[in-house]
Amino acid sequence: MVIYMEKITIYTEYITLGQLLKIADFISSGGEAKIFLSENYAIINGEKDNRRGRKLYKGYHVVILEKEFIIE
């Protein structure tokens, strides 16, 4: 069940999952992404993923810990 939704506006072709974790305040530095994703996972467009370098393009839906993000 998603309890929170936020739109993330990007000005580049894509951002990585690690960058999204930092933007969304799940982690405070990029180096923490690997640790966070070893204990948690993201659902990207309906599929589980835990690769910090996963590219997220405009239109993607991402759910992390019951928070939903839409990349714009």
Predicted confidence (pLDDT) per residue in 3-60, tens digit:
678 999 999 999 999 999 999 999 998 889 999 999 999 999 999 999 999 999 999 9
Q: Report the domain count for the chain.
A: 1
Residue range of the domain that includes 50: 4-71
Strands 67-71 and 4-8: parallel
Q: What is the DSSP letter of 48?
A: E
What is the CATH number for 49? 3.10.290.10
Give the per-residue pLDDT at 55: 98
Name the residue type at position 33.
A
pTM above 0.75, yes or no: yes
Name the residue type at position 21.
L
Percent helix / strand / coil, the chain, rounded to 5: 25, 35, 40
Distance between CA atoms of 62 and 29, rounded to whole angstroms? 20
